[in-house]
Amino acid sequence: MNVNATSFRRYTLFLRFRNFKKPSIAKTIVLIGFLCTFHYAEAQRPKQLQKAWSLADQQSQLLYQELQLLKKSDSSLVSPRTLSENNELVAVKRGDWTSGFFPGVLWYLYEKTGKGKWKELASETTKSIEAEQFNGKTHDMGFKIYCSVGNGYRLTADPHYRDVIVQAAKTLATRFNPTVGCIRSWDHNSHRWDFPVIIDNMLNLELLFEATRLTGDSTYYHIAVSHANTTLKNHFRPDYSTYHVIDYNPKTGAVQHRNTHQGLSDESTWSRGEAWALYGYTMCYRETGDPKYLQQAEKVAHWLFTHPHMPKDLIPYWDFDAPNIPNEPRDVSAAAVIASGLLELSTFSNQGKDYLMKAQTILSNLIDGYMSAPNKNKGFILLHSTGSKPSNTEVDKPLSYADYYFLEALHRQEELQSEKVQSDLVRKNPAGKLVYFPDAQGNIIPDFSHVGYHQGDKKLPDIPVVVAVKPSGTGHDQQVIQEAIDAVSAKPLDKSGYRGAVLLRKGIYGIPGSLEIHASGVVLRGEGDAEGQTLLKATGTHQRSLLKIAGMGNYTEDKARKQYVKESYAPVGVKYVVVDQHNMLKAGDQILLSYEMNDAWIEGLQMNQIEKREGTKQWTAREYKLNFERTILAIKGDSIFFDNPLVMAIDPRYGKVAVIPYTFDGRIREVGIENIRFESDFMRDEDENHGWIAVDMDKIENAWVRNITARYFGYAAVSLGAFAKQVTVTTSKCLDGKSQITGGRRYSFNNDGQLNLFKDLYTTEGRHDYVTGARTLGPNVFSHSSAQRTHADIGPHHRWAVGTLYDEIVTDGEINVQDRGNWGSGHGWAGVTQVLWNCKVKSAAVQKPWVSGQNFAIGVKGEKSAGRLKNRNTGYWENQNRKMSIGSLYEQQLNDRLK
C-alpha cells in the first residue's frame, strides 16, 4: 500500500496513460481535507506509537521463529494466520487468502526500522507465496499478492515484483464477468450461489489499479471501476450498511440473493464487511478521483459512528446486530481496517478532522487495551479479533490481517504527523537510498548527479597564486590584467592540469573592453565579491562580455567508427544502448549519442503547424541532430554503458540514433573564476549600450565560477555556450539588470551547454533567471537558488531543451515548461524531461509534449497554471503544495552515488 496523504498521487500517475481530467470538486475537497488533517495530526502520542512498533518488532521475531518450527513438520506452510483453541499457532499454505499478510507486516517493519533483517525475512516470506500470481481459482489476489509483493515493490522497486503484480492482475481479471460487471469471489458453495460477490472483494481492486499504472493498460482500471460501481449499486441498504454476499445471475447480471456468510444473518451488518466498504471506497476515490466514491466512504463512516451499537472505544462487536451486545466478541481486525481507512479518508474529506480524531482514538485504544503482552500469543500483535462467529472459528483470537492493517494504520498516522510525503516516481527506501519506479515503457526520473565540475566527483580546487595585480587607480586596468592572464597562460601545466591563479587585489578595475582567457589551467581570483572588495567594472557604452573564456574548434567525429543503435525503444534513465557492432568502440571513448530526428517527429510534435505571425519559422528535422556527449564506461555483449543516462527516450518512430566517437582538441579545461564583483556602467534603467555578460564561457570543460556578484548587466551574470561542458556555477548573484524588459535580455544564469551545474544562486530584476536555450542537452541542473522581482519566467526557453532539473528553486514569478507556440520566431515546445522538484513559485505551467516524453512538477508549491496554449496535455503533477521528504533531489542523488 502506498502512502495515503498525497491525495491524487496515484490518480495523476494513471493520467500519464489516459487523458482523463481530475474533477475540480474533488481537488477542492482534497485541499480542504489537507488543511483540516495537518492541523490535528499531532494528537497521537509518540510514546504510544513507539510502544506499538517496539512490540511489533519483538512479536514478529517470535512469530517468525514459531512459523519455522511448524514448517519443519509441513514445509508447505508459508504464513501464520491465528491461534487454535489450544492457543497453538495455525499457519496456512500459500493458497489461503491470508497468506500475504505476514510478509506485509515484515515489509512494514523494514520500512519503519530500516533493518536489513526485516528486508531479508520479508523477501523470504514473500517469495514463498509468489506462485499465487497464477492461481485463477480465487479472488483474493490483492490480499495475497498486493499486501506482500506490492509492499515489496513499493520499498525496493524490484522489477521482479513488478512482473508478479502484473501477472496477478491478469489472473484476477479472468474472474471478471462483464455481464455482471463484477469479479467473482468464490467458487465454493455452488449449490448456494451461482456468482457470489463479497464486499471483501473491494480491497482486491487496488491490485488492478496498480497494474494499469505499471503497464499503461487501462483494461485493469476499467474492470476495477466496473466492480466498484456494481458493488455500490447492489451491496448497500438505503442506510449505507452493507450486505456481505450478493449472488448474481452470471448470464443476465441480475441480483438473485443477498446473503451473509460470516455475519449474524442476511439482514445484519457484519462489522468487518462495513470496514471493507469504508476502506475500499476510500481507496477507489484515491485511484479515480470520482466523487461518488468519496461520498460513499463518507456515508459508510457516518453509519459506523452513529450506530447505537458502536462501543465508546470504537472497537466494534463482530456484528452490529449481534443479540447479546455488550456480551458479544469484539472484532479488532475490523477496528484496524477502519482506522487505516479513516486515516486515508481524512486526507480527502472536508470532515477530515473528525475522521482523523476517530482513527487516533481507535489506535490509542488498540495500543492500550488490545495488544498482546510481550513474548506471548506466539508472536501476534493484537488480540480479540473474530474470524467467523457463525462457524465458531477464530473467535476472540489474534488474526494476521488485524496485525497487518494495524501496522499500516500506524505507518499512515506517522506519515500524517510528519506532514512529509514521498514521490511515487523516486523515493527513499528504508535504508535511506533512492529507488526509482518506471512507467509502463520503463522511463524513470533520470540521475542528475553526474553534472558540474568533474561530474561532482571532485571538489572545486584551490589553486596557488602565481601573479598578483593591484588596481591602477586610473580606471584603465584591462591591459595589466590581460597581461597577467597571458603570463599565466604561457606557463606549463602541472601534473594536475593547472598553471596557476591570477589574484586581483581589492579595489576597482576599469575594463573598457573584454578580458579573455583561452588557455587551460588558469584561475582568475579576487579577494571577495562584496562591495569594497575586488570589482571589475565594465566601462564605456557598447555591448560586450566583460570576461570571455573559450577554447576553439568543434567536434571532430570519427565517422569510421560510427555505430547505429538498434531500432528498439530505449527509455529515459537507462545508461546504456544496444548497437549492431561494437568491436570498433572501447571503454573510455568520448562519444556523441547523436539523435537524428525525422519528419515524423516534427509532425508528431506539430512543430510544422505553429500559428504564423511575422518572423515565425516552422521546425525542420535537419535542425534537430541532437548530440549528447557521453563517455563509454564499459561494453558488455552488444550493450554500451555510459557515464550519464538517456534523458530523451530513443524511439525508432522518430529517427535514428548513432554512437559516434569524437575528439574536441580545442576545448580548454580547469579554468576558474572566483571571488570577484562585476559591475557595468549604464546611463539609465533601459540602457542597451553597456556591459552585457559578466562571465561568458564556451568550448570549455571541467571549469567553475564561484562567489561572484554581477550587477547592472544587460544579459547575464554567467552564460554558458553550447560547447560548455561540466561547469559548476555556484554561490553567485546576478543583481539589478539594466536593459529594456523584452526578448533576449536579462537571462541571469543562462545555460546552452551540457552536464552543467548551477547551485546556490540569487537574482533580482531578471526576466529568465535560470534558463536554457534551443537544443540544450542534459542532464543539467539548477539547484537551491532563488529569484526576486522577476519580469518573466524561469525554465526552458525554446526549441526543445532536454533533461533539466529545477531543484529547490524559489521565485516570486513563474516556472514554465510548455509549448510556447509562435513566441519569438517560433519557440514551440520548450523542452522534455524537465523536472521541477520541490520548487516554490507564484505559478507554474508544466505541459506534456505531444510525443517523445514527459515533464514533471513534483512537490511544487504555488499555483498550477494551464500555460499559454490551453489545449495542451498537462504534465505529470504530484504532491502540489506538499512538504517533500526529499528536499534536494540533486543532493540526494549525489550523496547516494558518492557514499
User: How many angstroms separate the CA atoms of 648 and 71, rounded?
Assistant: 50
User: How many angstroms separate the CA atoms of 604 and 852, rounded?
Assistant: 9
What CA–CA distances, in Å, run from 197 to 100, 323, 328, 716? 21, 26, 27, 67
284: cell is 477507489
Residue with cell 515493490: 153
Main-chain phi, psi angles of 820, to 5 degrees: -90, 5
Give bridge partners of residue 636 from the DSSP assignment: 639
Strands 724-735 and 700-711: parallel
Main-chain phi, psi angles of 220, to 5 degrees: -65, -40
Catalytic residues: 140, 200
Strands 691-698 and 655-663: unpaired
Residue with cell 476502506: 279
Burial label, 597 (beta-carbon count in 10 A; 0-12, 13-18, 19+): buried
User: How many angstroms separate the CA atoms of 366 and 123, rounded?
Assistant: 28
Q: Helix, strand, coil: what percent of the chain each, to 5? A: 30, 30, 40
Q: Where are the beta strands (DSSP E) in 390-440?
A: 393-397, 420-421, 426-428, 434-436
User: How many angstroms separate the CA atoms of 646 and 777, rounded?
Assistant: 10
Angle between helix 159-173 and 219-234 (nearest 10): 50
252: cell is 443476465
**DSSP codes, 751-817:** E-SBS-EEEEEEEES-SSSEEE-TT-EEEEEEEEEEEES-SSEEEE-SS-EEEEEEEEEEESSEEEE
Helix spans in 528-621 (H): 599-605
Contact 878, 423 (CB under 8 A): yes
User: Which residues lie below 8 Å from residue 105, measured CB to CB, with a gap of 6+?
Assistant: 56, 60, 381, 400, 403, 404, 407
User: Which residues lie below 8 Å from residue 46, measured CB to CB, with a gap of 6+?
Assistant: none
User: How many angstroms separate the CA atoms of 587 and 631, rounded?
Assistant: 8
Q: Cα(first)–Cα(last) distance of the chain, in Å?
A: 29
User: How many angstroms separate the CA atoms of 820 and 810, rounded?
Assistant: 22
CA atoms within 13 A on the CB side of 594: 19
Burial label, 257 (beta-carbon count in 10 A; 0-12, 13-18, 19+): middle
661: cell is 566517437
Give bridge partners of residue 570 from the DSSP assignment: 650
Residue with cell 514569478: 813
The residue type of 86 is N
**DSSP codes, 371-382:** BPPTT-GGG-SB
The CA-based diameter of the chain, rounded to the nearest angstrom, is 106
555: cell is 567536434
User: How many angstroms separate the CA atoms of 705 and 711, rounded?
Assistant: 16
Q: What is the CA radius of gyration of the chain?
A: 32
The C-alpha torsion from 802 through 806 and 807 to 812, rounded to 10°, is 180
